[in-house]
Amino acid sequence: MIFLPKAPQAIIRHFLLRFAGAPDTSTGAPRPANMSARDNRQNIKWVEGVRGVASFLVVVTHLARAWDYGLFWPSDGPEEAPRLLQLPILRIPFQGRIGVMMFSFLTGYVCAIKPLRQIKSGQTSAALTTIAKSAFRRPPRLIMPATIALVIAWLVTQLDGFQVAKVCDSDWLRDSSPAREGGLGHEMLRLMWDFQNSWIHGTPSYDEHQWALLPFLKGAFLIYMTLAATCYMKFRARALTIFVLWAWFWCSNDWKTETFECMFLYGVLLCDIGSEVDFREYVNSRPKARRIVQTSLIALGLYVGSYPEGNIEFAAWSRGIDQFNFLFPADNDPPKRWSAIAWHLIVLGFWLSPTLQTIFSNKLFMWLGRNSFAVYLTHGTLLRAVLVRFIYGFSIAPFSMERPENADPIYHWIPRTQNWFAWTVAIPLWFSMLYVVAHLWTTYVDAWCAKVTRWLEELMFEKEEEEKPRGAGLV
């Protein structure tokens, strides 16, 4: 037996244990068997949880638009004190805008996860295959469930299901609720034109909330083209290229580039950087600095994201933010620009925070995330056909119209209930109904659409070499 001093024995034992993959008893920490193959995976479950929050915020925003549009202002008047929900930060869930941006960012992040993982592991050909198949799946996975939701909204229209919404005292509900314009033949032709408008112009009339699906579809292909064009680049070159693309869209004043294109690319950029092991180790080795940075980013993002949609001059804090509008290109939309900056900062804080990622990865948020697309597709019809009846009743008898001579008609819309108890019961009950319907939609409708998409993929794609039966291709 060879006797060695204690220190060399400890060193030898340490390296033997590391090589074997057993825990090092000197520290109690397990070691990987192959130290050269570091784990390049990152926590992505939190993305699904954030998606669930985004869909919830979209619904809350539409409730505010329907019945309390003053929440989009800093106060109800220039001399009036703000209400609680009009204060900075507290107003964000109700004033909207940020929910669609969250969906855009998450689309970029999720679409890039698998291709970037394959690219970084040297499987570039596999990454291109993944991009090709993802690009094929995206249209049917968006168009099929959206079309089913559109047909349901059309059927509700034919059955006068939106009749109460068309004559209620909410301008937004009246303007966004469809009505029959003719006989069945005319309405069927109108449905076909509405489907076309949804995917060419993004202007559906039976379910106007589907306007964002066309930009989402286009954005997915922007992501796929970007990944395909940069898949052979080094990490830093690819990150720089994506950043330049992001900056190009940010400097544009075209319609909603800050809502869609910038967010798609920002999601790809953070996914790419976050999958770098060296970067994660660098950040995690400095927990105090990381917490300070992430907290500051989230706090600043929440503040600037409070920028109101109108009547900015009603409050000093909104006038203060308004002074920095020179940062944006000419002829832009300042409320959306500030919301975009807000989400850039907030999600960067989430991305840097393992604690927040753990919170958003719990079962509740994950369940909300799984049902988020179904909530987005169904909430408009349920809002105008069901919730309005909880608030206004089932009869349109209170509605009337006067036709004075030589004057415009005078409309007496159905008034909303003034019973606060009815509101506190109706809205939670309706939310419960919405999420039950969304869960059933995800379980059956969305699953069926996924099955059809897989069938189409198997029908139209060549089998990969390892999937072909032995002897295939031989003459």
**Residue 196 CB neighbour total at 10 angstroms:** 11
Query: Does a structural domain hold residue 58?
Result: yes
Query: Does a structural domain hold residue 466?
Result: no
**Three-state secondary-structure class, residue 401:** strand
Closest Cα to residue 249, out of 115, 108, 353? Answer: 108
Q: Which stretch of 250-254, 343-347, 426-430, 470-474 has the lowest confidence by average pLDDT?
A: 470-474
Q: Residue 311 is part of which domain span?
A: 45-388+427-457
Query: Does a structural domain hold residue 474?
Result: no
Q: How far apart are the first and last CA of the chain?
A: 67
Residue pLDDT, tens place only, 26-52? 333 343 333 333 444 566 889 999 999
Query: Does a structural domain hold residue 350?
Result: yes
Query: Span 131-146, mean pLDDT?
Result: 96
Query: Does a structural domain hold residue 353?
Result: yes
**What per-residue confidence (pLDDT) applies to 11?**
42
Q: DSSP E strands: which ranges in 316-436?
A: 400-402, 410-412
pTM over 0.75: yes
Residue pLDDT, tens place only, 6-30? 444 444 444 333 333 334 443 333 4
What are residue 231's phi and psi, to 5 degrees?
Answer: -70, -25
Longest dimension (CA), the chain: 116
Query: Does a structural domain hold residue 467?
Result: no
**What per-residue confidence (pLDDT) applies to 40?**
46
Residue pLDDT, tens place only, 170-209? 999 999 999 999 999 999 999 999 999 999 998 899 999 9
- The total number of structural domains that make up the chain: 1
Query: Span 335-357, mean pLDDT?
Result: 95
Query: Does a structural domain hold residue 13?
Result: no
Asked whether the beta carbons of 214 and 147 are under 8 A apart, the reply is no
Query: Does a structural domain hold residue 393?
Result: no
**What per-residue confidence (pLDDT) applies to 295?**
96
**What per-residue confidence (pLDDT) applies to 280?**
86
